[in-house]
Amino acid sequence: MSIQVRFGVFALVAVLAAGLAAAGYVSHREEDDRFCISCHTAPEVAYYQRAQAALARADSAPVPDLSSAHYVRVRTLFRCIDCHRSDNGLVGRLSTLALGARDTLVWLSGRADPSLEKNTAVAPGLLNTACDRCHTETLLITGFENHFHNKLPEAYRAWQAGGKLSPPRQGPPTSELVTGLKFYDTTVTCLDCHRAHVQAEEEQFFLKQDEVVLPACERCHQQVGQGPARLRSP
C-alpha cells in the first residue's frame, strides 16, 4: 500500500472518529436544556423560561403553553429533547443530529428567526413521531368522540405495528374494535392542532379551536372526501 493510500485511509478514519466523538458529545449534552438554549437563544430561551417559571409554581397553578404543561404534569424528568429527538431510533437520532448541525449553521450565520410562537415547525416528522411515542394509547381510542385522533395516519400505523384498540370512553363500542382502523390519506398531523409553544388556555387543552383546530378538521375532511367541508362560521 502506497504512502498516499495509507494517508488517505488514516485521514478518513480520523474524520469518522472525530464525527462519532462529536455526535456522542452532542447527544450527551443535549440531555440538558441549558445546553440547548446556549445556541437556541431566541425564541427557545423564552420557552425554557416559561417552563422553569411554571415548575417554580404550585402543581395546580395554570401553565402558559403545552410545552410547559409537559414539564409540570409529566411525572418523570422532562427536557426539550424528549419532543425533539423523534423515537430514539437510529434514523431519528441521525436526523436529529443533522437538524442540529443545520440549526448551528443558521445560528452562526445570524439568520435565525427570533419571533415567538411561530406557526410552522422545522422537521415536523421528528416531532410527530415523538408525540406518537408517548400518546399511542390516545390515538387508538375508538369512537366518534376520538375520530380526530384515530383517523390520523399515525393511528393507523400504530395499530398496524401491534397497538391495541380500546373502546370509547363514552358511548357504546364501535365497529373499529372488530374491523380495525382504516387508512385515511391526509396530511393533517398532531402538530396541526397541538402547538407546543403557543400560549393558550389549559382548560381547553391548549387548543385554539377557530384559529387552528377547525381549519385542520376541514382540511382533513377535504382530503379524505368525508365529513363537513365547513365547520367555521362565515
How many other C-beta atoms can be found within 10 angstroms of the C-beta atom of residue 125? 13
Which of 12-26, 138-152, 181-195 has the weakest average pLDDT? 12-26
Continuous H helices in the chain: 3-29, 33-39, 44-56, 66-73, 81-84, 90-109, 124-139, 147-150, 153-160, 176-179, 190-193, 214-224
pLDDT at 35 over 70: yes
Give the Cα separation of 32 and 90 in Å (integer). Answer: 20
Q: Which residues are registered as beta bridge partners of 166? A: 141
Give the Cα separation of 205 and 190 in Å (integer). Answer: 13
Q: Which residues contact 175 (CB under 8 A, 6 or more apart)?
A: none
pTM of the model: 0.80
**Joined grid coordinates for residue 46:** 423564552
Length in residues, the chain: 234
Instruction: Return the closest-CA partner of residue 67 out of 122, 131, 123.
Output: 131
Question: Quick one: pLDDT at residue 189?
Answer: 93
Cα-Cα-Cα-Cα torsion 32, 38, 42, 47, nearest 10 degrees, comes to: 20
Q: Express each pLDDT in 122-145 by its tens digit.
A: 778 888 999 999 999 999 999 999
Q: Give residue 80's region: left, alpha or beta (phi > 0; psi -120 to 50).
A: alpha
Question: Quick one: pLDDT at residue 109?
Answer: 82
**Joined grid coordinates for residue 156:** 393507523
Give the Cα separation of 31 and 27 in Å (integer). Answer: 7
Q: Express each pLDDT in 57-90 by its tens digit.
A: 866 778 999 999 999 988 678 999 899 887 777 7
Instruction: Return the closest-CA partner of residue 81 out of 29, 31, 143.
Output: 31
